[in-house]
Amino acid sequence: MKRVALIVLGLLFFIASPLLAAQVPATHVVSPKWLAESMNNPHLVIVDVRSPKEYNAGHIPHAVNIPKGENFQKGAFGNIEHVLDTPEMITNVFRKAGISNDSLVVFYSTGANQKGWTFATREFWTAWMFGLQNTALLHGGLEAWTAEKHAVSTEAVMPKEGNFAIHDMSLSSVATWPHIYYALATKKVQFVDAREPAHYNGTDTDKRLLKHGHIPGAVEVAYYKFVKKHGNYYEMITPAEAKKVMSESKVSLHKPIIDYCNTGHLASADWFAIKFLAGAKHIRMYDASMYEYTRSSLPVEK
């Protein structure tokens, strides 16, 4: 009986191994080595979020192109730009990229500058909110991939259409007006501003904003605090370093957080780093951010 049990356990291990291999790390960050070793995984979908021009000039083999903004409504929605498209259109974008509900999706952008990773986090956040959670970012982006001497392709990828469908959504990842009102009224939620100092301090000349400054009580934790230069590219800091950033900023990881920027782009980077690297349990991103907030009668601070 013992031998039979061992055989059964062995068979279960080999059956489960492909499933386990399809799961991303708890940090939702994968290395170029991890990605290279996962290339033969039939569930893997690699998404390059750069512009079509950049994609065509050279991308990771088998990567499909979903440029940042592909999931946005064309033009402004009322007075607000960069609003997510309809569920039907987002479903269509994902399916055309070959994404199904059981896909393992790795997003990447450039790692050549401090802001590059924020393009990938924006697409990651959208996928996460719409229920795609076996997802990850490539550590260091395309530049880290090439620095490790992995191949680059100029061949356009035309994947087999996926069957992604929205079965559930991670609504706990997004902050809307009631969340903003509650946070302002009760002071029970911490605001984190992901923008650069000029925007936070209100010294910018950004014409998209009708008022300048930050949401009252917000703490500035700029997106670039979560990356560091490694050789010729920027990569995300470690979980321990991310926790230190939050501690030094005096933002508690044990209390609810709402982070924002101007349009939900830079805030997606803070949301990712604070949630997956620093380990905050309750963080929402205010997608419409200051573009919407400054069009209300709510106050700002400088």
pLDDT per residue as tens digits for the range 126-182: 999 999 999 999 999 999 999 999 999 999 899 999 999 999 999 999 999 999 999
pTM score > 0.75 for this model? yes
For residues 49 and 109, give the distance between their C-alpha atoms in angstroms, rounded to a whole number: 6
Q: Are strands 227-230 and 219-220 parallel, antiparallel or unpaired?
A: unpaired
CA distance 290 to 302: 14
Indicate the average pLDDT of the chain: 90
The answer to whether the beta carbons of residues 293 and 260 sit under 8 Å apart is: yes
Domains and CATH numbers, the chain: 25-147 (3.40.250.10), 171-293 (3.40.250.10)
Beta strand 233-236 with 227-230: parallel, antiparallel or unpaired? antiparallel
pLDDT at residue 256 tops 80: yes
Tokens of 95: 């399916």
